Amino acid sequence: MLGESIDEAPAREAGKGYANLPPEPDPAPSPSPGVPRHTPDSPRARATPVTVAVLAALVVAIGALESMPLPALPLIQRELGLTPAQAALLATTLLLTGSVTMPTIAKLADARGGQRTLLALAWCIVAGGTCSAFAGSLPAMLFGQFMQGLGAAIVPATFVVLRESFPERMPVAVGVITGCFTIGGGVGVLASGPLADALSRRWMFLLPTLIVAALAVVAHRALPRRTVHKGRSARLDWPGGALLAATLVTVILNLTWLPQNGWSSFTTLALLVLTIVFGAAWVWVERRAADPMVDLRMLGRRGVWSSSVVAGMLGAGYTVPYFLFPQLLAMPPAVAGFGFGASSSAVSLYLFPGIAVAIVVGPLTGLLVRRVGSRAVVAGGLVLTASGALIATLWHSAPWHVLLSLLLTTGLGMGTASTALYTGIIDSVEQADTGVATALSGISRGIGASLGVQIAAVIISAGTSPVTHLPTEQGFQAGFLLSAALVLLPLAIVRFVPGSTRAVR
């Protein structure tokens, strides 16, 4: 799923780290008799099964809302009169927001309390879903997707709530929550098309948004609160976050306008210069920050830099077909000469099997890594992803062609490669560095996915037919071929990925 920047392997490790933390000290006495004192044993602070149930339901609902736009992207594109490159900005905004803001929000949750942060996130997501539902223009829809993109941090915020409530059960609770987010993404993909067709695009966003709002009200009463100690504050790298966002925004805008502006236009060159300036400034700030958003020193480690590069290329490679297939399926064959003329409901049904396979493959990959080593599994996942993209390049005229390609790219290939990458990087660093190392890999994959979506949109926009004003079949083939190349290139550095290449007996 595009909106999912959370993987089960790093999430599980994060849970292990939380479980090993010492329990929170008792809060200080109330400053006045009228202020209640919530101790860990008080009813307001004590965790119950209701806590987990409310958190699980909230995570499922948010996961569903995050993944809903993609199957209906051709419908949104038609209703708002967008080009493929402009429509891709919706998915890109969602992904980039999650990648850039997740580390900062996670730190806020640690410092300010999980319940407060989680509720603030939930209401931001409600605002974003409402804006997306009633948006009648591209800027309004982009703002809605930006607010929804904050939902990527719901899982780390939920982990903080669980750690505060019952650290002794963290491993089980983490598995439940990460599974719920993944399941929510699958539910969103499966339900978005039918909702858009049966009701409308507005209700596709509004229905899950209302569910999130209702659960946020329940969570306010059901979740335990933690007393925040005076003097405890988050050291946030605001300059680093702003510069990284500026760097990525200039890259995305340049890609979006490239088909109209060309390579030699003033706008293209100016944005390129701005990208270089912002990027260099970001590196300078991060290397000198006391508590950087991205610890670039960690990239100096052999296993971390290689895993981050592979994750970024994998993210770009698998999102290209994931964006192109809904466009291809929706193409009217009578006009374009290819495509299926599929409705949003049909697009959802095509996409869902690959996601279902990824849900199952993730846990099984861990067992495979133990037998053959993470490097071999990463290489195999890359080859499977490339195979699916090559199949789509050569054959895309029958439903089984599409299903097979999606199963190989978004299901087997991406599922095995990403899980093995995280497993290898976790095994290669000290426990204290697990969060930083996996965050680097996760951010790399999120940025790669954002760029992959926009590059795919630029390719098919540049190849628009002057007669039909629709993308050509050759444009789709070029996109699928690029996807295969992007995931095959990292094979050259797989030997640097951490993890034994020998089977574990």
pLDDT score of 176: 66
Contacts of 264 (CB under 8 A, 6+ apart): none
pLDDT score of 477: 93
Distance between CA 173 and CA 15 in Å, rounded?
Answer: 8
Measured in degrees and rounded to the nearest 5, phi and psi for residue 234 equal: -85, 135
pLDDT score of 281: 93
pLDDT score of 484: 94
pLDDT score of 255: 81
pLDDT score of 66: 81
pLDDT along the chain (505 residues), means of 10: 46 43 44 40 53 81 83 85 83 82 75 79 90 89 88 76 65 64 82 87 89 88 64 67 85 80 83 91 86 74 81 89 89 88 88 83 76 86 93 92 91 83 72 64 82 87 82 91 93 78 42
pLDDT score of 33: 41
CA 113 to chain centre: 23
Are 96 and 5 in contact by the 8 Å Cβ rule? The answer is no
Considering only CA atoms, which of 290, 284, 54 is closest in space to residue 161? 54
Counting Cβ atoms within 10 Å, is residue 305 exposed (0-12), middle (13-18) or buried (19+)?
middle
Are 61 and 115 in contact by the 8 Å Cβ rule? The answer is no
Distance between CA 92 and CA 251 in Å, rounded?
Answer: 11
Counting Cβ atoms within 10 Å, is residue 394 exposed (0-12), middle (13-18) or buried (19+)?
exposed
Distance between CA 224 and CA 5 in Å, rounded?
Answer: 27
pLDDT score of 42: 43
pLDDT score of 27: 44
pLDDT score of 434: 61
Name the token pair of 36.
């209640």
CA 338 to chain centre: 31
Complete DSSP assignment for 180-222: HHHHHHHHHHHHHHHHHHHT-HHHHHHHHHHHHHHHHHHHHHH
Distance between CA 315 and CA 319 in Å, rounded?
Answer: 6
Cβ atoms within 10 Å, residue 235: 10
